[in-house]
Amino acid sequence: MSEDSLEESRAETEPTLSDGLDRVVEKERRDFLVGVSAVAAGTLAMLAPIGAAVVSLLDPLRREKLSSEMVLVARTSAIPEDGSPRKFTVTADRTDAWAAYDDSPVGAVYLRRSGDEVRALNVVCPHAGCFVGVAKDNSRFSCPCHLSSFDLDGAVDDPTSPSPRDMDTLDVEVRNGDEVWVRFQNFLPGRAEKTPV
Amino acid sequence: MRGMLDWLDNRTGYRALLQGVLYERIPGGARWRYIWGSTLVFAMVVQLITGVVLWSAYSANAQGAWESVWFIQNQMTGGWLLRGIHHYMAQVTIVLLVLHLMQVLIDGAYRAPREVNFWFGLILLQLVLGLSLTGYLLPWDQKGYWATKVATSIASMTPVVGPGLQQLLVGGSEYGHLTLTRFFVLHAGILPAAVALLIVGHIYLFRRHGVTTPKSAREKPDGYFWPEQVLKDGVASLIVMATVLGLVLWSGGAHLGAPADPAEPYAAARPEWYFLFLFQWLKYFPAGWEVIGAQVIPGLVLALVAAMPIIGGWKYGHRFNVGVATALLAGIVMLTWQARVQDSADPEFVAAQAEAEVLAERSSELAAALSGIPVEGGLAMLRADPLTQGPRIFEANCSQCHRFEGHDGLGGQPADPPSASDLAGFGTRAWLAGLLDPERVATDEYFGGTEHVNGRMSRFVQRGVARFSPEVRSDLAKVIMAVSAEGSLPAQVEQDAVQQTEIEEGRALISGEEINCTRCHTFRDQTEGDVGPVLTGWGSRDWMLGMLHDPTEERFYGEDNDRMPSFGAEKILTEDEMGLVVDWLRGDWVRQDSQGH
């Protein structure tokens, strides 16, 4: 190849300034598109596992709640006649995740009787969820955790009581003369209104 | 050898890495005050090792958690030590974390450029607290169950998302299998992974910035991490481990309460000691202020601590930080102390704690005596135990009139005096001998408070028995043996078998001329007038169940029944409950030395 032709070809390939700019822009655009594609591909690949994970983790939100059907708790004869409260275990058929239980303990209630009328209070403290106890002299309820205090009707009886509401009353029906049926429910603690869990 | 290591270094570059790790330059040389971070890494490694091995025997479900922890604690070789180390190291870790944090604050080691590392440390502190909180529930005993209920209740108070958050944590609306699987994945999966990542980041940043040297170190020659500082760190770790082992041995290992029971109160519910200040704190917030006390204020305090690196750059900022941190620590100590003082001054709490301890021991004893926990689980096992349930049923249903060794079954004293017999030892020879004692029959122990105090039995004892000659008295002793033998009490069967001759004689004497029980009672096929309760099978399980079922039956008191309710006929008690109280009164329960009944 002659000197001239070499010069010529060099001139042909020598990039001009605008050529260079074009290339830089072109490369940037290319890199941007490749980057976007890489992120998109990666995200798409992760979508299914993350989606499945999130949906599964959120499953408890759409689970059916403990049935709030009436359950037989006691006979009226087992409740003291003098109006003092007595604790009864509430048993019910329930399904806990994969396991079905017959007649297993789900909670407890205090039952009180005045004449034929029976009243039921959930033992769980509306403050923070502890198990409310009965004072030794049967005069009131008091929570062993943060010292919430209630009268025998379950009403807050102390202005400094940390409980935001009275103890949770439950629906009671006396069936067939002496069967005490209770609609057993738990309620969200720490709020003034009674919201079923 | 040399060649192989060279090859490995060529392929991995491990020497440079090792060089970097070991020969970190320490301005002013190794010091004892730099040990805290290393002891924390050591603690985490201990938790990882013990935790993974605990995991190898732990079962995260509501019918396996307590059961498997019981197994680890009582059956697995070395299990109590393993669990003890894990339990106490968790507590020591909290102490070390607080010391580390206070040192960083006091030394001003949070200032630029170390802000991010300070925040890493704060997150680590919260992750470790999260590990403690989740770990507390895993044994699924009463203590963990009720304490964690408070924690998830507090989560549910969060505005707007609270109820959903609680459901996600608990795995549903109620505590159950999924609560454990979820707490376990947090405790053994997510939180440890996050801790590991952050520790790597924490150490990386620490290496990047170097130690914060005290003024006194500046004149001293520099040193290296290896071996001077490693020796100090090693000795410190050894002291930490010795402390933990000391705690394990002193306490006899980590505690395991009775199995969690949603229907049984746990009045001794308290969080682990390092959360006690929060527990106490909540007592001071009246109705409607729970969220402020449980979430807003702790959140603000945490935000303030997080802002300390920034505040530290201001004039007097460092003094402010140290002041705030000291005040916070003092407040925490004070609240913890108050919680302790209030609890120990509360007789009901002290009693509840003692009762919880009895239940814990009984649960463990039952599991051992049955040579394993029945497949229904620890809670069902405890609920079927007469020794545990009998006194409760007695207290609730019998103690208005009866007593047991002078108390209500649970050790309490009802308001009204007894108006029926003391049933402790009912069916034994001693109990019968007391009934037939002219001095005792009309006391509170027997018929004192009943209509029977002036009845025929009472008159027979006070007038007839009182005048018995010594010979008739020795006959009466045999009659007592014979009648008592009807009950086949577990504590007496062996003695009865040995004294079969006397018992045979006694049976003949029951309808003898002098003693003549069958004038009023039926014994086997002998009777003249069926007035008092039947003596055939007296004190046996069937006899007592029958009496509880309906004392007005002809074979018991009939029309002469004095106030005793028909617990079975009126369905006051279930068959199971009557069985439990009868078995308890008869002393018929599973014992450690026997296998079953």
For the cut 90, the answer to whether the pLDDT of residue B51 exceeds it is: yes
Confidence of residue A66 (pLDDT cuts 50, 70, 90): low
For the cut 70, the answer to whether the pLDDT of residue A12 exceeds it is: no
Residue whose token pair is 């709490």: B349
pLDDT for B551 equals: 95
pLDDT for B24 equals: 87
**pLDDT, average across residues A167-175:** 95
| Side chain identity, residue A6 | L
pLDDT for B571 equals: 87
CB of B262 within 8 Å of a chain A CB? The answer is: yes
- Averaged pLDDT score across all residues of chain B: 93
- The distance of B153 to chain A (nearest Cα, Å) reads 5
Percentage of chain A exceeding pLDDT 70: 90
The count of residues in chain A is 197
Q: Where are the domains of chain A?
A: 3-59, 70-183
The count of residues in chain B is 597
Residue whose token pair is 């009895």: B358
Segment B198-210, tens digit of pLDDT? 999 999 999 999 8
**pLDDT, average across residues A89-118:** 91
B-chain CB neighbours of A186 within 8 Å are 173-174
Separation CA B170–CA B152 (nearest Å):
8
Interface contact B267-A58, CB threshold 8 A: no
CB of B167 within 8 Å of a chain A CB? The answer is: yes
> What SS3 string covers B542-568?
HHHHHHHHCCCCCCCCHHHCCCCCCCC
B-chain CB neighbours of A82 within 8 Å are none
More confident residue, A64 or B348: B348
Taking CA B566 as the corner, what is the angle to CA B560 and CA B567, rounded to the nearest 5 degrees? 150
Interface contact B290-A162, CB threshold 8 A: yes
CA dihedral of residues B260, B264, B267, B273 (deg, nearest 10):
10
**pLDDT, average across residues B252-257:** 95
Segment B315-341, tens digit of pLDDT? 999 999 999 999 999 999 999 999 999
For the cut 90, the answer to whether the pLDDT of residue B280 exceeds it is: yes
Interface contact A144-B352, CB threshold 8 A: yes
- Give which of A170, A167, A126 is closest to A146, Cα–Cα: A126
CB of B176 within 8 Å of a chain A CB? The answer is: yes
pLDDT for A137 equals: 80
What letter would DSSP give residue A161? -
pLDDT for A5 equals: 59
- The distance of A134 to chain B (nearest Cα, Å) reads 11
Residue A115, phi-psi category: left (phi > 0), alpha (psi -120 to 50), beta (remainder): left
CB of B156 within 8 Å of a chain A CB? The answer is: yes
Taking CA B483 as the corner, what is the angle to CA B478 and CA B489, rounded to the nearest 5 degrees? 110
More confident residue, B248 or B414: B248
The widest CA-to-CA distance across chain B, in whole angstroms, is: 110
Query: Nearest CB to B167: which of A60, A99, A146?
Result: A60
Percentage of chain B exceeding pLDDT 70: 99
| Cα separations in angstroms, B592 against A73, B369, B372, B596 | 34, 5, 12, 9
More confident residue, B505 or A9: B505
Interface contact A190-B153, CB threshold 8 A: yes
Domains in chain B, please, with CATH?
A: 24-351 (1.20.810.10), 386-585 (no CATH)
Q: Tell me the pairing of strands A149-150 and A99-114.
A: unpaired
Confidence of residue B595 (pLDDT cuts 50, 70, 90): very low
Interface size A-B, in CB pairs within 8 Å, comes to 146
Interface contact B269-A131, CB threshold 8 A: yes
pLDDT for A3 equals: 56
pLDDT for B512 equals: 86
pLDDT for A178 equals: 87
pLDDT for B553 equals: 93
Q: Give the bridge partners for A107, in sequence order.
A: A90
Query: Nearest CB to B287: which of A86, A130, A163?
Result: A163
pLDDT for A64 equals: 66
Confidence of residue A107 (pLDDT cuts 50, 70, 90): very high
For the cut 60, the answer to whether the pLDDT of residue B214 exceeds it is: yes
Segment B506-547, tens digit of pLDDT? 999 998 888 889 989 999 888 777 788 999 999 999 999 999
Interface contact A66-B174, CB threshold 8 A: yes
A-chain CB neighbours of B180 within 8 Å are none
Separation CA A156–CA A160 (nearest Å):
9
**pLDDT, average across residues B98-122:** 94
pLDDT for B596 equals: 41
For the cut 80, the answer to whether the pLDDT of residue A11 exceeds it is: no
Separation CA B19–CA B51 (nearest Å):
31
CB of B267 within 8 Å of a chain A CB? The answer is: yes
pLDDT for A54 equals: 96
Segment B62-81, tens digit of pLDDT? 999 999 999 999 999 999 99
* Topology given in CATH for the domain delimited by A70-183: Rieske Iron-sulfur Protein (2.102.10)
pLDDT for A1 equals: 47
Half-sphere exposure of B514 (CA within 13 A, CB side): 16
CB of B33 within 8 Å of a chain A CB? The answer is: no
Query: Nearest CB to B149: which of A106, A129, A144?
Result: A129
